């Protein structure tokens, strides 16, 4: 690995052991380890780097030597810093704008014939160089293609994934031990048994970073994550194997309609891989064709209804899986329940999106219990069959112990 000396040493090049790449690498590793593994803040890591600088100045008798003390420099040199796509985000409706082309006011419309949002998008920040216009809110997502290439460049990961293609499903009526044995896994035809095809689960949920134990403080941020279902369960949810797509900007959650603005860019990245892209991997550095599909949407009920564009529990069309009405909620005869179909839900969602006014959209929602969701753009998914309640949030968040 080659790290330019000027990346870390601010002083002019000097003939000293400090400039040995191995020493620079060790300093990089120490800073990154403190920040990532030990949870030390960027400011405190910078203080450690300052101490190292003083020690090296004394040891090398070079008082003019200066080290870059920003841990992000070290992480970038070690290729630990993910590729982040940043954009300005409307504080009210979460509409996104490219950083180089931010209008003064938000132009997003909730429906084609509704008024523009009109929220101011920038504010003045006083800096050492003088007043500067900056976005009031930023929305950052991790680039999926960049993460996927990193994921597949790890030694041994492709060998582990290959075992999912060789898995033998139980005979009809047999016991299912995991998603590889499920009808959903085989519903995509040969996709889940073809090498180079990866299947992911999509998870979303909101949390209060101040914890719910702090009275009077209520803010909410949403975590959006995907895990590769081709990995065995014991590896599937390890942090290093989870694609952390991004967090919804706080301090409040997107609404049932503005959630589409948050999910749009993430779905763009997933859609691009359905037809496949050539990526360099550990076993195939020259590149191989990789395809990606998403089967389950996971989360608690409120998160699933919001992200999936489905009605809540108090709506007339309260169920995401059948057409039972609220007036018939006491009907416990399962044989009289009419199951929803993915095609019907998608058609209703398309109808909702095509409506020109908020009133027309509300009428469609009352009739069908469905709004538009960005996940409908993944046309191969069944929006009904592929919605899964997260068990006590335990797979991704590991908070089962807090509920017991």
Token couple for 228? 């590769």
H helices present in 195-275, as ranges? 233-236, 259-271
pLDDT score for 389: 81
DSSP element (H, E) containing 306: helix 301-308
Helix (H) or strand (E) holding 89: strand 84-89
User: pLDDT value at position 88?
Assistant: 97
Tell me the average pLDDT across 326-338. Answer: 94
**Structural domain boundaries of the chain?**
5-77, 84-139, 143-167+180-309+385-403, 313-372
Cis peptide before 32 (omega within 30 of 0): no
Which pTM does this prediction carry? 0.83
What are 31-63's pLDDT values in tens digits?
999 999 899 999 999 999 999 989 988 888 888
Q: How confident is the model at residue 15 (pLDDT cuts 50, 70, 90)?
A: very low
> For the chain, what percent of residues have pLDDT higher than 90?
69
* C-beta of residue 198 within 8 angstroms of C-beta of residue 228: yes
Instruction: Give per-residue burial for 69-98: e unless 16+ CB within 10 Å, then b.
Output: bebebbbebeebeeeebebbbbbbbbbbbe
The 10s digit of each residue's pLDDT in 142-180 is 999 999 999 999 999 999 999 999 998 888 888 898 899
pLDDT of residue 301: 87
Scored b (16 or more CB within 10 A) or e, 238-247 reads eeeebbebbb
Mean pLDDT of 386-400: 66
Q: Higher-confidence residue: 76 or 7?
A: 76
Check pLDDT > 80 for residue 12.
no
Average pLDDT over residues 349-371: 96
Per-residue pLDDT at 399: 56
| 8 Å CB contact between 110 and 257 | yes
34-43: long-range contacts (C-beta < 8 A, 24 or more apart)? Answer: 34/71, 35/71, 35/75, 36/75, 36/80, 42/70, 42/71, 42/72
Sign of CA dihedral 112, 142, 161, 303: negative
Average pLDDT over residues 221-239: 95
Q: Are 247 and 89 in contact (CB under 8 A)?
A: no
pLDDT in tens, 279-314: 999 999 999 999 999 999 999 889 999 999 999 988
Say whether pLDDT at 341 is over 90. yes
Q: Is the pLDDT of residue 367 over 50?
A: yes
**Residues 254-266 pLDDT 10s:** 999 999 999 999 9
Sequential DSSP letters for 118-169? --B-EEEEEETTEEEEEES-EEEEE-HHHHHHHHHTSTTHHHHHHHHHTPPP
Mean pLDDT, the chain, whole residue set: 89
């Amino acid at each position: 690995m080659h790290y330019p000396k000027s990346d870390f040493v601010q002083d002019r090049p000097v003939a000293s052991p400090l400039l040995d790449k191995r020493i620079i690498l060790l300093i990089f590793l120490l800073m990154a380890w403190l920040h990532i593994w030990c949870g030390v803040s960027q400011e405190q890591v910078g203080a450690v780097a300052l101490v190292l600088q003083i020690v090296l100045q004394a040891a090398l008798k070079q008082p003019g030597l200066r080290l870059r003390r920003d841990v992000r420099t070290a992480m970038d040199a070690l290729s630990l810093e993910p590729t982040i796509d940043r954009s300005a985000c409307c504080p009210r409706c979460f509409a996104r704008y490219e950083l180089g082309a931010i209008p003064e006011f938000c132009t997003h419309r909730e429906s084609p014939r509704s008024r523009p949002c009109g929220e101011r998008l920038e504010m003045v920040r006083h800096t050492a160089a003088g007043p500067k216009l900056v976005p009031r809110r930023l929305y950052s997502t991790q680039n999926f293609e960049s993460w996927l290439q990193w994921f597949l460049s790890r030694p041994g990961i492709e060998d582990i994934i290959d075992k999912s293609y060789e898995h033998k499903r139980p005979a009809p009526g047999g016991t299912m031990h995991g998603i590889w044995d499920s009808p959903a896994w085989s519903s995509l035809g040969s996709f889940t048994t073809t090498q180079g095809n990866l299947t992911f689960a999509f998870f979303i949920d909101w949390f209060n970073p101040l914890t719910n134990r702090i009275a009077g403080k209520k803010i909410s941020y949403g975590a959006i994550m995907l895990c590769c279902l081709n990995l065995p369960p014991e590896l599937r949810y390890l942090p290093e194997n989870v694609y952390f797509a991004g967090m919804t900007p706080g301090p409040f959650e997107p609404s049932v309609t503005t959630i589409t603005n948050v999910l749009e860019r993430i779905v763009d990245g997933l859609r691009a891989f359905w037809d496949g892209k050539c990526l360099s991997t550990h076993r195939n550095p020259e590149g191989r064709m990789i395809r990606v599909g998403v089967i389950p949407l996971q989360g608690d009920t409120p998160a699933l209804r919001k992200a999936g564009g489905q009605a809540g529990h108090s709506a007339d069309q309260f169920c995401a899986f059948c057409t039972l009405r609220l007036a018939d909620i006491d009907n416990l005869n399962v044989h009289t329940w009419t199951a929803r179909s993915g095609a019907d839900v998608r058609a209703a969602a398309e109808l909702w999106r095509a409506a020109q006014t908020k009133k027309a959209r509300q009428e469609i929602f009352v009739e069908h219990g469905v709004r538009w969701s960005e996940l409908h753009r993944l046309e191969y998914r069944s929006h009904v069959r592929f919605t899964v309640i997260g068990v006590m949030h335990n797979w991704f968040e590991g908070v089962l112990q807090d509920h017991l």
